[in-house]
Amino acid sequence: MSSHQGLPVAETWFSIEPADENGVRRVREIHAHEYGAGSMWFVEGRDRCLLEETGLGVAPLRRFLETITAKPIVAFASLGYYDHAGGLHQFDHRLIHSADAGRVTNPTRLNTAAERYMNSTLRALPQQGFDPSRWVTPASLPTRLLADGDVIDLGDRAFEVVHLPGVTAGACALFERARGVLFTGEVLVWDGDYVYDGEPADVSDDADRTSFRTLIARLGALPAAAV
């Protein structure tokens, strides 16, 4: 019997809540284990909104967010793994570093790490008949390929791309210098008890432990006030 058989079908998939005093809100897939489906972060700017990470992509995330704002949403994936770029295809503005673009344009269960984690991620199903063991991130074409130092401008807030290869070749963080807000992506993982900044798992063929160790120091040197 597959591990997903017997799971209930969820009526509600997403939740959103304030994360701090900086206007950042946390979006969660409430029926997914946090280890296999990390948080998404939502920032509403004057002209447009930023969605940092796009989740699994198994439920209508864009429709959910459009009940909160009528502004255009810029969707950013810190790397091309299934739990970061899974929902990227749902949005008109799709941003990812150029070195991870292949995981978005030609996703497989292997190159997105879904083969390793997806089958044990869910506590409920997004719809009847959904099979996590067969789920592949829907392909999409990025509308903007990012590089280190690029800026995502929301009109009154600006987030700088910090390229941190190691987990994958295109892994990135986002940093808002004006407020000191830092989104670390996959580089730092909070599991509720401690922050994990260990070596990258050997999930992808472009994982680089040497680069990872070097760039953790770069991340730590940023004048961050909220991580």
82-94 pLDDT, tens digit per residue, is 999 999 999 999 9
Put simply, whether the predicted model's pTM sits higher than 0.75 gets the answer: yes
3-class secondary structure, 17: strand
CA neighbor of 160 nearest in space, from 101, 86, 95: 95
Quote the CA–CA distance of 216 and 188 in Å, as a whole number.
9
CA neighbor of 69 nearest in space, from 28, 31, 25: 25
Banded pLDDT at 216 (limits 50, 70, 90): confident
With a cut of 50, say whether residue 2 has pLDDT above it: no
pLDDT tens, residue by residue, 175-210: 999 999 999 988 775 433 333 444 444 456 776 667
Banded pLDDT at 219 (limits 50, 70, 90): confident
Domains of the chain: 14-221 (3.60.15.10)
Can you give the pLDDT at residue 114? 94
Burial of 152 (0-12, 13-18, 19+ CB in 10 A): buried
Determine phi and psi for 214, rounding to 5 degrees: -70, -45
pLDDT tens, residue by residue, 10-50: 999 999 999 988 899 999 999 998 777 778 999 999 999 99
In this structure, what token pair is assigned to residue 147? 């590089």
Q: Which parts of the chain are beta strand (E)?
A: 14-18, 24-29, 40-44, 49-52, 73-76, 93-97, 144-146, 151-153, 158-163, 172-176, 181-183, 189-190, 195-196
When the pLDDT of each residue in the chain is averaged and rounded to a whole number, the result is: 89
Strands 49-52 and 40-44: antiparallel
